[in-house]
Chains A and B, each alone.
Chain A
Amino acid sequence: MQPQSLSGYRELPHTADWELEVWAPDLATLFEQAARGMYHLCEAILVSHPRITRGIELIIIEPEILLIDFLTELIFLTESEGLAFDEFNLKFESNRFIADVTGAKLESLSKEIKAVTYHNINIRETGSELKANIVFDV
């Protein structure tokens, strides 16, 4: 059996929607992996140029709500500007979350995500890593 990498995501079976399990050593990497996993599920393919950066700033209420808010922001940027991202610079400052996300226009996107749900959302510590399960309405 292959050892599990320090951070990553995998799709779990769900009858109608999509469920991702995400793990990482820290919160910023967990958020990044969640975003990467979401784009993977949608089969997002980016054009190579030009590279585009967007800033996201959110108030931190609790980590789970913040994770959903962050992914919801990314969905909005996909829908409104046709953008997806593959570089993430994420900072947590007292009650503020600041993200610089870099990517490009979409060449193609196979699936549309309606929303990120709160169903069983729970960021938990398991040994030295953080884990979260995220269910997307599709």
Chain B
Amino acid sequence: MVRLQDLQQINRFEWEIPKSYREDMRVAVRIFATRQLLEEIKDDKSLEQATNAATLPGLVGRVVVMPDVHQGYGFPIGGVAATRLPHGVISPGAIGYDINCGVRLLASQIEFEAVKKDLSDLADSLNRLCPSGVGKKGHLRLKIGELEKVCKDGSRWTLQHGYATEADLRRTEEKGRLVGADPTKISKRAKERGRPQLGTLGAGNHFIEVDVVDQIFHQDAAQVMGLIEGNLVVMIHCGSRGFGHQICTDYVREFQAAVKRYSIQLPDRELVCAPLDSPEGQAYLGAMRCAANYAFANRQVLAHFARQAFEETLAGKVPHWHLHQVYDIAHNMGKIETHEVDGKLTEVCVHRKGATRAFGPGFQGLPQEYRSIGQPVLVPGSMGTASWVLVGTPESMKRSFGSTCHGAGRTMSRRKAKKTVWGEDLRKELQAQGIHIRAGSMAGLAEEAPQAYKDVDAVVETVAGAGIARKVARLRPVAVIKG
């Protein structure tokens, strides 16, 4: 167990576990946290898992830990690690089972006060049109050939089938399509699981949330994004569903043998990996990109049905009921990117697991209108608490491989949450606060209670204080749809 005395304090917001902490560490671990958050972090195995991650072959710079970090299974949730091309490794477990789990934000010109009385109906429509919950299938039934097109084309497929606009694609990370997706590297079983699930939310911590823009901190950026104080926005949080889960399962299993072939010693079998330039590494990269593209398409189809719910509920009641896309960003992903390492521009594979890409101003891959403000970062909260819109900064490029936090981060086990919180009581409590809840399971709702999470405001203040993101707007939930 890593103790506080093992850490070196760098400044108010940064701490380091030196490489000398353990013989098998290849790089140091840099933690972005205040002392108060660190006290919470040290209570689970997050830091031990971060030191384990620091043993991956080919790492450059440092393993980075975000303030919303919590214990995962191998690699901590809230971790970033970059490996050098071509011989550094790629680790499926360092990306996670829910490949391209991410967040989409849609904004509106609808004033909250004007539709307050319609929110319950809106929550019902969203709940009906956007399938959520355990084992729920979507409105679409893809044949294998069509699924393979989704794998290759991602959000572009949804545009061709009437679920998206060009503007949506432009405001999606990588325009909703990672190049290099290879459906031949996916198992038949993954395809079977993926066919009925496109356009579904799933369960667990995934949700669709209607928020009010509560406070604006960066007026110029908010204006460019179309965020207006007092107006409604919609946040969609989900990933690649059973399709991504199966792809990760398949490759974590296959890599159990690969690590032996490449004589890679690791402290945890969930960290198994293969060199990026090996046939195994290339196969996983091609398969992972399929899941990433599926997830982009999944959130796009859900956005289509969210728009339909708004139209169904609010058309004629307000002058403009359209939802425009602010951005869509992944927080479980492996990406080939160029970063400055030891003063040189270096091609690396950045593993982000529970961490959001946060590229600063000037990045060419951003839509023209965002190049001067930096990439939007979407940070969901925990039902009863705020969610945030941030932007990436030049500092995030220098200090965290262009990454920042991804949410509030759990602090209480699901078991304890269920023992502490009664789902129906929580629903009533949130309703009394003006938050309309639609949940598939009251036990599931209790597990996701706000008190099971860290204070998202404290997490955001930490990344803002450290300079690895800048605050744009704070959002307040008024309706939450959970699986």
Contact = CB atoms under 8 A, between A and B. Distances in A.
B269 A119 contact: yes
Given A15-B70, A78-B135, A109-B134, A115 B97 contact: yes
B204 interface: yes
Nearest to B269: A118
Given A72-B249, A76-B193, A110-B443, A16 B97 contact: no
Interface string A76-103: 1011101000000000000000000000
Given A118-B256, A119-B270, A112 B202 contact: yes
B427 to A, nearest CB: 15
B275 interface: no
B192 interface: yes
A69 interface: yes
A111 interface: yes
A37 to B, nearest CB: 13
Interface string B377-397: 000000000000000000000
Nearest to A121: B269
Given A43-B443, A111-B444, A138 B414 contact: yes
Contacts of B413: 13-16
A65 interface: yes
A14 B71 contact: yes
Contacts of B415: 11, 13-14, 18
B74 interface: yes
A120 B268 contact: yes
A35 interface: no
Nearest to A72: B249
A69 B98 contact: no
A110 to B, nearest CB: 5
Interface in A1-60: 11, 13-18, 42-43
B269 A15 contact: no
A112 B483 CA distance: 10
Contact of A114 (B70, B97, B441): B97
A119 B44 contact: no
B363 interface: no
A115 B249 contact: yes
Count class of interface residues, chain A: 35 or more
Contacts of B248: 115
A130 interface: no
Contacts of B269: 64, 118-121
B57 interface: no
Contacts of A18: 414-415
A15 B44 contact: yes
B253 A68 contact: yes
A16 B413 CA distance: 6
Contact of A135 (B73, B246, B253, B441): B73
B245 interface: yes
Nearest to A137: B97
B245 A114 contact: yes
Contacts of A69: 253
B412 interface: yes
B291 to A, nearest CB: 12
B73 A13 contact: no
A132 B416 CA distance: 22
B65 to A, nearest CB: 14
Contacts of A118: 74, 93, 252, 256, 268-270, 272
B135 A112 contact: yes
A61 to B, nearest CB: 8
Contacts of A138: 204, 414
B288 to A, nearest CB: 14
A64 B269 CA distance: 11
Given A15-B410, A15-B413, A65 B270 contact: no
B194 to A, nearest CB: 11
A120 B203 CA distance: 26
Contacts of B71: 14-16
B189 interface: yes
B389 to A, nearest CB: 24
B467 interface: no
Interface in B436-480: 441, 443-444, 447
Nearest to A79: B242
A126 B308 CA distance: 58
B169 interface: no
A44 to B, nearest CB: 10
Contacts of A112: 134-135, 202-204, 483
A22 to B, nearest CB: 16
Interface of B: 44, 46, 70-74, 77, 93, 96-98, 134-135, 189, 192-193, 202-204, 242, 245-246, 248-249, 252-253, 256, 268-270, 272, 410-416, 441, 443-444, 447, 483
Closest 8 CB pairs of A and B: A119-B73, A118-B269, A117-B73, A119-B270, A115-B97, A112-B203, A15-B71, A114-B245
28 contacts: A13-B415, A13-B416, A14-B71, A14-B414, A14-B415, A15-B410, A15-B412, A17-B73, A17-B414, A18-B414, A68-B253, A69-B253, A79-B135, A82-B135, A109-B134, A109-B135, A111-B203, A111-B444, A112-B134, A115-B248, A116-B249, A118-B93, A118-B252, A119-B73, A119-B270, A135-B73, A137-B73, A138-B414
